[in-house]
Chain A
Amino acid sequence: DGGITQSPKYLFRKEGQNVTLSCEQNLNHDAMYWYRQDPGQGLRLIYYSQIVNDFQKGDIAEGYSVSREKKESFPLTVTSAQKNPTAFYLCASSMDYGTGDGYTFGSGTRLTVV
């Protein structure tokens, strides 16, 4: 079945550590996205990528970094510069960026700072 796989499902980070969240899709979608979900705040866009080797900052990119070396993969690194990283992180993809296609979401990674 086609879909998006996020791993790990749960991740614990110590203060000052960088951690990387994995996102892989086999839908042959060009566009991929990372969102952060906090209670009562909906989804906020961290980074997005319209095509391989290209990505753009979203609304809350500070303290995060991404890469898009392969069409299927869009990993997110939460750096030590992100002061409040505890949240639920969602990866999504769509056929094209912003053309009215619905998004396909992964099951999410819950990151907790310990």
Chain B
Amino acid sequence: AQSVAQPEDQVNVAEGNPLTVKCTYSVSGNPYLFWYVQYPNRGLQFLLKYITGDNLVKGSYGFEAEFNKSQTSFHLKKPSALVSDSALYFCAVSISGGYQKVTFGTGTKLQVIP
């Protein structure tokens, strides 16, 4: 069975500081990894994904994520946080090869403090 863990329910960071939202995963096989963002009362928006290749993936709005196979992690990062980045962030995982479902984490609320 595949799973994804987001160990922090909430992350607080000052505006202008770097931010990290953590994600670890467990799969049998090669993972596909995703990050999504959700603003209040809205659907999720796709930020970035890792399929294969370069371990550092760049996505929308200046976000990036680093795939670390040995630590089974896919942490989301941004060099300088904006107040408008405040939202709920979801990590998701599936497995390469054929039809595989996507499993979402429980979400991490990011609060950027002015």
Taking beta carbons and an 8 Å cutoff, which residues of A are in contact with B? 4, 6, 35, 40-43, 45, 48, 50, 58, 88, 90, 92, 97-100, 102-108, 110
The 10 closest A-B pairs by CB, nearest first: A105-B43, A102-B46, A42-B106, A98-B100, A43-B104, A98-B99, A100-B32, A105-B44, A100-B51, A42-B104
With A105-B43, A106-B43, A108-B41 known as contacts, the answer to whether A40 contacts B49 (CB < 8 A) is no
Chain B residues positioned under 8 Å from A99 (CB to CB)? 99
Chain B, residue nearest A35 (CB): B104
The range of chain B's interface size is: 20 to 34
Could you tell me which residues of chain B, from 11 to 48, have a CB within 8 Å of some CB in chain A? 32, 34, 36, 41-46
Other than A42-B90, A98-B95, A100-B32, give 7 A-B pairs with Cβ distance below 8 A: A42-B104, A42-B106, A42-B107, A92-B44, A99-B99, A100-B51, A110-B41
- Roughly how many angstroms separate A43 CA and B102 CA in the complex, as a whole number? 10
Chain A residues positioned under 8 Å from B106 (CB to CB)? 40-42
- Roughly how many angstroms separate A39 CA and B109 CA in the complex, as a whole number? 11
With A50-B99, A107-B42 known as contacts, the answer to whether A43 contacts B49 (CB < 8 A) is no
* Shortest distance between the CB of A101 and any CB in chain B (Å): 8
* Shortest distance between the CB of B106 and any CB in chain A (Å): 4
Could you tell me which residues of chain B, from 56 to 114, have a CB within 8 Å of some CB in chain A? 90, 94-96, 98-102, 104-107
